[in-house]
Amino acid sequence: MPIPFPFSAVVAQEEMKRSLLIAAIDPSIGGVLVFGDRGTGKSTAIRGLAALLPKMRAVDCTYNCDPDAPEDALCADCRAKKGPLKSRQVPVPVVDLPLGATEDRVIGALDLERALTKGEKAFEPGLLARAHRGFLYIDEVNLLEDHLVDSLLDVAASGENLVEREGLSIRHPARFVLVGSGNPEEGELRPQLQDRFGLSVEVKTPQDLPTRMKVVRLRDEFERDPAAFVHKWKSKDAKVRKLIEKAKDLLKTVTVPDATLEDAGRLCIKLGTDGLRGELTLIRAARALAALHGDTEVTQKHLKSIATSALRHRLRRDPLDESGSTSRVERAVVELFGA
Amino acid sequence: MSTAVVTGERPPQAASPWEDAVLAAALMTVDPIGTGGVALRALAGPVRDQWLSIMRDLQPEDAPQRRIPLHVSDGRLLGGLDLAATLSAGRPVAERGLLVEANGGVIELAMAERIAPGTVARLTSAFDFGEVVLERDGLAMRNPSRFALVALDEGVGEDEGLLNALSDRLAFHLELTHIRVHEAIACDYDAADLLDARTRLPSVTITDEQIEALCGTALVLGIPSLRASIFACRAACAAAALAERSEVTDADLSVAGRLVLAPRATQLPPMEPPPDAEPPPPEPEEPDQNQNQNNEQQEPQELEDQILEATKAAIPAGLLAQLQMGKLRRSRSRATGKAGAVQNAQTRGRPAGVLHGEPRAGLRLNVVETLRAAAPWQRLRREERARSGQPSTRIEVRQDDFRITRFKHKSETTTIFVVDASGSSALHRLAEAKGAVELLLADCYVRRDKVALVAFRGQGADVLLPPTRSLVRAKRSLAGLPGGGGTPLASGIDLGMILADSVKRRGGTPVLILMTDGRANVARDGSGGRTRANDEALAAARVVRSLEITALVIDTSPRPQQQGRDLAREMGAVYLPLPHADANSLTQAVRATSG
């Protein structure tokens, strides 16, 4: 596998980097959608993040079950085992869903090799199983085939994958953080899928010379000698990893006062977001952000800072409002909480 | 800086387009992965053939060369299960896709201007990560796939061309259209030179000042993508390696400017750059490294001017004229098809792949694909049947194997007429508009399109005719359309747009046709006042553009007015002044817009 560009060496794009970190700190937020200009380091940042994520404890089973999970979140093998589950440290899986993937590889199917050579029926887990407890990354998510999107939505909503094939009936946990990237020029994303993403980020090409130079220079250096470049950035990447670890520990103790809950509610009402998902995500994201900053209480400051990322993709399109959804959220934040 | 260009090179501006085209082929060969490849815009013909044969001859002997046809299947492009080999071997055998076969070589992409976004996305992901990640037909593999791409763009005119996602990843953009056959002759390089240059490439150095100059030039020319700047650096390094140098010189920078930056320019550099336009960023930590390189002392600004000079000379004349007229190219995705957006369908249209599913409700079973899907499982199923004591059939096909053909068809076009029925648009115009709608409707009957009619006058706008194919209903509602009163232009546009949006949501393709003299004098709330009415109309027009609705503005005033033109511009619409519009010419214009 080619060496990924280090996460900490990605220049600018602060909102994208912050959102990815928040999704890594609290997987229940529901992932990140990165939409924007070509050549802005969307997939570079995601692959870079994969390389630095702290390891996790997992049972030695097909699905990397969490040893501390309640029984109904375990796979069939782990449930059948008696006594405490043995676990080991494994890297957090970051699984690519490439375009052109077929349904059998995504949701899992019969093991072709064993069927052909031994005439046995055996289940071969797909990408969704591999992504359990980790990240599922879809580049060019807006070009994904509709039928794949449908199966994805179903699994993402239930946290469980159900496979019925050749008389096999398999049910296994599949909880993953969905990370999608794409370019709006190539087509819009279906609103149902858009809503599944916790945070949404818009990236733009930096327009100032020093930043652009820095990007070009770093990229040039990386391409000349990737290994040396990664080594050079190793300590900075390690710092980011520590930051994630610390925030993950802190997350459980971060409190959300009633005043903040009320603020979040007021903001969602003002923007007219559908359902409660927006509000829930806003609170969770603000809590993860507080943890990232080392704060123990979620305040209006955190809400204000994360509101655009958490809400901009949940607004109903208003044909009479010509400004984009980003500025609509920003406007509402200023009107409610002041600049 | 006069000392800089004493390397014995010919002055950069003097290179002919053909020489530059050959140089691009050479540079691509020196650094295939760093530069991505070439977007070659030319019709098929002797000049293109000559360039391609030169490019092929320049490749190292063992480098694979592949050609990807327009409608390549996923299996062939990415790889998949080789069914014949799998069945005869009795174990899964993978077939390598074109992208993997071309690893270390060159891919030619035929008719690249018509290629589907999905195919481009597969190509570009191989580009970006240097490997093909395969998750198909029960196979999961990663194979290296690093190649240079030559995209053959046979597009004609502004609208037809490579998808931005693809052209952005190719360093060199060449246009061979204006090169005559007798100019396209030889090339001064041979494959061995290029191999030498390739080995020299890693040791070529480029200074920070030179990088800054290239980035600055890209900014001044209005090139947003950062890849362009990165490519310019790679191209400059490759040019230096080709010229047997270990340091990038001014000549190399101007090569990069000409071949990489010039074709991407979207704006002209200001004639007199303001003195404080590009303050060189202070870099106190980097004192002058004492390299004995004579261009080291140059200020980035000077260097930038120099690249700009060379680049400007290479910007095609047509572009200059266009840019000067203020016709900035909008960064809008180029559609690869025409007219009605392509949509997935289940029962009719052009076949577009197969899908797992059952043949019911009119869905068509794809027999070949179904048998393909069933083939690997035959042994397993036969044994299973034998165990349960049932007689075995010759081929065991089960429900899981059913594959249905998926079709794509053009979505239905709905033409929405927004007609100004106010007093200022004289009454006979209304009669002409009515005539046009009737004519179109007859035409739509043949094309299976729909028509809707919105009229605005007095205080507001009304939908006179919801989207319909019925000639009778249309005629009846048209006949009753009254005229006179003020011009609530904004309300008319709003209503037309809401209608268009709802058509879009149902999966149709709306075409908005606005017939007006552009003289708004009633605001949305029904109150009078030209200024406010006009501002509101322009704002409404901008929303139409933001929703990317295809639109046509027909100026019906006796003498074409600036207002109509402004309105069309804000709407992103085609502007058509028809001071003497008659039903026939209207119909022709509409047909031309909606394709």
Q: What is the pLDDT of residues B352-368, one digit of tens each?
A: 667 777 766 667 777 77
Of A115, A183, A186, the CB nearest to B377: A115
CA distances, B431 to each of A41, A289, B418, B434, B489 (Å): 56, 63, 14, 5, 19
CATH topology agreement for domains B16-84+92-199 and B204-268+299-325: no
Instruction: Write down the catalytic residue from A277, A287, A316, A317.
Output: A277
Contact B214 A183 (CB under 8 A): no
- H-helix or E-strand spanning residue B261: none
CA distances, B368 to each of B92, B303, B365 (Å): 19, 63, 9
Which domains occur in chain A, in start order?
7-54+92-203 (3.40.50.300), 258-337 (1.10.8.80)
Give me the count of residues in chain B: 595
Annotate B214-231 with three-state secondary structure. HHHHHHHCCCCCHHHHHH
In angstroms, the separation between the Cα of residue A117 and the nearest Cα of chain B is 6
Residue in B with minimal Cα distance to A225 = B202
**CB pairs < 8 Å spanning A and B:** 171
User: Which homologous superfamily is B413-594 in?
Assistant: von Willebrand factor, type A domain (3.40.50.410)
- Residues in chain B with CB shorter than 8 Å from the CB of A115 are 376-377, 379-380
Complex ipTM? 0.77
Torsion of CA B294, B299, B301, B303, to 10 degrees: 0
CATH of the structural domain B16-84+92-199, one choice from 1.10.1030.10, 3.40.50.300, 3.40.462.20, 2.30.38.10 = 3.40.50.300
Give me the count of residues in chain A: 339
Residue whose C-alpha is closest to residue B316's, from B255, B270, B254, B266: B266
Tell how far CA A132 is from the center of its chain. Answer: 12
What is the 8-class DSSP label of residue B36?
Answer: -
CB of B207 within 8 Å of a chain A CB? The answer is no
Please give the backbone phi and psi of residue B129, each rounded to the nearest 5 degrees, phi first: -115, 0
Contact A215 B92 (CB under 8 A): no
C-alpha B557/C-alpha B461 separation (Å) is: 20
Check residues B436 and A208 and name the one with the higher pLDDT. Answer: A208
In angstroms, the separation between the Cα of residue B446 and the nearest Cα of chain A is 30
Q: Do the Cβ atoms of B83 and A112 come closer than 8 Å?
A: no
Contact B380 A121 (CB under 8 A): yes
Residue in A with minimal Cα distance to B209 = A213
Residue in A with minimal Cα distance to B165 = A38
CB of A122 within 8 Å of a chain B CB? The answer is no
B window 297-336, beta carbon within 8 A of A: 331-333
Structure tokens at B14: 């003097």
CB of B34 within 8 Å of a chain A CB? The answer is yes
C-alpha A114/C-alpha B76 separation (Å) is: 25
C-alpha B16/C-alpha B21 separation (Å) is: 9
- Residues in chain A with CB shorter than 8 Å from the CB of B377 are 110, 115, 166
Residue A277 is a catalytic residue: yes
Torsion of CA A155, A161, A165, A170, to 10 degrees: -170
Contact A209 B122 (CB under 8 A): no
CB of B136 within 8 Å of a chain A CB? The answer is yes
pLDDT in tens, chain A (339 residues): 678 899 999 988 899 999 999 999 998 888 899 988 777 888 889 889 988 888 888 888 888 888 888 887 788 888 888 777 888 888 888 898 888 888 888 888 888 778 777 777 788 888 999 999 899 998 888 888 777 877 887 888 788 888 877 677 888 889 898 898 888 777 667 767 787 788 999 888 888 888 988 998 998 899 888 999 999 999 999 999 999 999 999 999 999 999 999 999 999 988 888 778 889 999 999 999 999 999 999 999 999 999 999 988 888 765 455 567 888 888 888 988 886
Place of tokens 């997935």: B344
Which residue stretches of B375-416 are H helix?
378-387
CB of B494 within 8 Å of a chain A CB? The answer is yes
**B586: pLDDT strictly greater than 80:** no
**B200: pLDDT strictly greater than 80:** yes
B94: β partners: B81
Domain boundaries, chain B: 16-84+92-199, 204-268+299-325, 351-408, 413-594
CATH no. for B204-268+299-325:
1.10.8
Q: Do the Cβ atoms of B156 and B23 come closer than 8 Å?
A: no
Considering the entire predicted model, what is its pTM? 0.70
Please give the backbone phi and psi of residue A200, each rounded to the nearest 5 degrees, phi first: -130, 135
Contact B229 A212 (CB under 8 A): yes
CA distances, B366 to each of B27, B345, B357, B401, B403 (Å): 47, 15, 10, 10, 6
